[in-house]
């Protein structure tokens, strides 16, 4: 039964392919969480918002300064010898806009300033200076947080384009390769695998998006959770595995998705990140295993060379059975029971065949 033949939950780029629909008051909720909304904006939209914020605040405070300027001008008396304007060297609205920009950006050319005769102007000067400092801090913090986003670090984490199913230590295993392009290590990296498929419960309820946790191990280096070199993620297909009853023939017509999650911390910034990818049945190679990546041509060099040209390379494994894990275990156990029976008969008869069977 094919549910979603073209769509996948997680794209190869790691982006989650889920769209929320019919959300009430969505824009209001996003507005209340404004800082997170700014961080999730694209760069061109974020720059546009900052430019509009600057221009709008300059114009808004220019209108306030223009009102204060006219109010102080109306208080001018004909016989007042010591009268001073509220803003020195300001003659029209254009010069007030320049004064507003100089005040908020703390340029201070010195040609225009507020006189001590205007208390309202001094108060407005303090308000605009504080507002400008807060706006600059918000913009600088947002840009810095967006640059240091852990999602960018996940771009330098590689997952193999295909997965393999082959025999490993007399067990059928599902294998995925993962690698780190940077020299910076991962702190406490963990790998998870989720099996996404439809499921029919015992009560008859149909679950189109059921997630099943798949046990994962790193047999190449169990302590290598920092990924100094590319590692192979292995899921052993046993009785608790959702792949236990799937054969190569069934795999071609199956509709499921295996999501791989790599979570950990960045050693240089101590920030958490998550790398994601997924595999459809057409991206799983049965009877193949990954090729070695360590370059043996220069064994006495200063470095252990890892050839990333072989990161996605696979080679045929002739020892892997072209049957499901359940059939393989049944066949292997039946042969083992038969050999045990022959060994017992030979030992009882003192035959040399018992030693050959060992």
Q: What is the pLDDT of residue 341?
A: 36
pTM: predicted TM-score of the whole model, two decimal places:
0.68
Report pLDDT for 81.
61
pLDDT of 340 > 80? The answer is no
What CATH number is given to the structural domain containing 141? 1.10.287.70
Domain presence at residue 22: no
How far is the C-alpha of 101 from the C-alpha of 105, rounded, in Å?
Answer: 6
Domain of 63 in residue numbering reads as: 33-147
Q: With respect to residue 11, please indicate whether it lies within any of the assigned structural domains.
A: no
Q: Mind listing the pLDDT tens digit for each residue in 276-317?
A: 889 999 899 999 999 887 766 555 566 777 788 888 888 998
Q: Are residues 179 and 291 in the same domain?
A: yes
CA dist 118 and 111 (Å) reads: 17
348 and 293, same structural domain?
no
The tens digit of pLDDT for each residue in 83-116 reads 677 888 888 888 889 889 888 888 877 778 888 7
Q: What is the pLDDT of residue 79?
A: 42
Residue 223: its pLDDT value, please? 46
Residues 143-161: what's their mean pLDDT?
77
Q: In this predicted structure, what is the pLDDT of residue 272? A: 76
Predicted local confidence at residue 127, as pLDDT:
92
Mean pLDDT of the chain: 78
Query: How far apart are the C-alpha atoms of 72 and 84, rounded to whole Å?
Result: 9
The neighbour count for residue 189, using CB atoms within 10 Å, is 21
Boundary-marking domain end, from 95, 116, 147: 147
Residue 253 pLDDT level (bands cut at 50, 70, 90): confident
Task: For 30-72, give the DSSP string.
Answer: HHHTHHHHHHTS-HHHHHHHHHHHHHHHHHHHHHHHHHHHHHH
9 or 267: which carries more pLDDT confidence? 9
List the single range of 93-107, 175-189, 219-233 with lowest mean pLDDT. Answer: 219-233
Percent of the chain with pLDDT over 70: 81
Contact 274, 192 (CB under 8 A): no
Q: List the single range of 23-37, 123-137, 334-348 with lowest mean pLDDT.
A: 334-348
- Indicate whether 181 and 287 sit together in one domain: yes
Residue 128 clears pLDDT 80, i.e. is over it: yes
**What does the pLDDT read at residue 150?**
65
Kindly list the distances between the CA atom of residue 96 and the CA atoms of 59, 84, 92, 101, 227, in Å, as whole numbers in the listed order.
Answer: 10, 17, 7, 9, 60
User: Could you give the angle at which helices 43-74 and 119-147 cross, rounded to 10 degrees?
Assistant: 180
The last residue of a domain, from among 147, 176, 201: 147
- Confidence (pLDDT) at 55: 93
Q: Is residue 211 part of a domain?
A: yes
How many structural domains compose the chain?
A: 3
Whether residues 355 and 269 share a domain: the answer is: no
| Percentage of residues in the chain having pLDDT higher than 90 | 15
Instruction: Verify that 175 and 269 share a domain, yes or no.
Output: yes
User: What is the pLDDT at residue 131?
Assistant: 92
User: Could you tell me if residue 69 is inside a domain?
Assistant: yes
User: pLDDT of 38-80, one tens digit each?
Assistant: 887 888 898 999 999 999 999 999 999 888 888 877 666 544 5
Please report, for residues 52, 63, 242, the alpha-carbon distance to residue 59 in angstroms, rounded to integers and kept in the order given. Answer: 11, 6, 63
- Write out pLDDT tens, residues 195-218: 988 877 777 778 778 888 898 876
| 74 and 44 housed in the same domain | yes
Same domain as 136, residue 190: no
């Amino acid at each position: 039964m094919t549910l979603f033949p073209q769509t996948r939950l997680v794209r190869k780029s790691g982006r989650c392919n889920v769209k929320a629909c019919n959300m009430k008051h969505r824009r209001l909720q996003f507005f209340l969480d404004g800082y997170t909304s700014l961080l999730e904006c694209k760069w061109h939209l974020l720059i546009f918002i900052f430019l509009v914020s600057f221009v709008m605040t300059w114009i808004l405070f220019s209108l306030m300064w223009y009102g204060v300027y006219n109010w102080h001008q109306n208080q001018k008396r004909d016989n007042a010898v010591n009268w001073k304007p509220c803003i020195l060297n300001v003659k029209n609205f254009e010069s007030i806009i320049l004064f507003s920009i100089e005040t908020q950006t703390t340029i201070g050319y010195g040609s225009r300033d507020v006189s001590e005769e205007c208390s309202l102007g001094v108060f407005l000067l303090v308000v605009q200076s504080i507002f400008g400092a807060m706006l600059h801090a918000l913009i600088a913090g947002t840009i810095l947080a967006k640059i240091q986003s852990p999602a960018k670090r996940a771009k330098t984490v590689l997952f193999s384009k295909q997965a393999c199913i082959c025999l490993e230590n007399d067990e059928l295993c599902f294998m995925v390769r993962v690698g780190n392009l940077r020299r910076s290590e991962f702190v406490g990296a963990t790998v998870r695998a989720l099996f996404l498929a439809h499921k029919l419960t015992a009560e008859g309820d149909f679950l189109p998006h059921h997630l099943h946790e798949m046990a994962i191990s790193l047999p190449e280096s169990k302590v290598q959770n920092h990924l100094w070199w590319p590692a192979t993620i292995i899921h052993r297909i046993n009785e608790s595995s959702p792949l236990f009853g799937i054969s190569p023939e069934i795999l071609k017509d199956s509709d499921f998705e295996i999501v791989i999650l790599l979570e950990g911390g960045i050693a240089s910034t101590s920030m958490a990140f998550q790398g994601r990818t997924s595999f459809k049945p057409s991206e799983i190679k049965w009877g193949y295993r990954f090729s070695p990546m360590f370059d043996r041509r220069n064994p006495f060099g200063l470095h252990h060379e890892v050839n990333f040209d072989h990161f996605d390379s696979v080679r045929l494994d002739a020892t892997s059975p072209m049957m499901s894990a359940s059939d393989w275990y049944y066949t292997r156990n039946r042969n083992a029971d038969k050999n045990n029976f022959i060994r017992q008969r030979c030992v009882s008869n003192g035959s040399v065949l018992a030693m050959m069977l060992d």
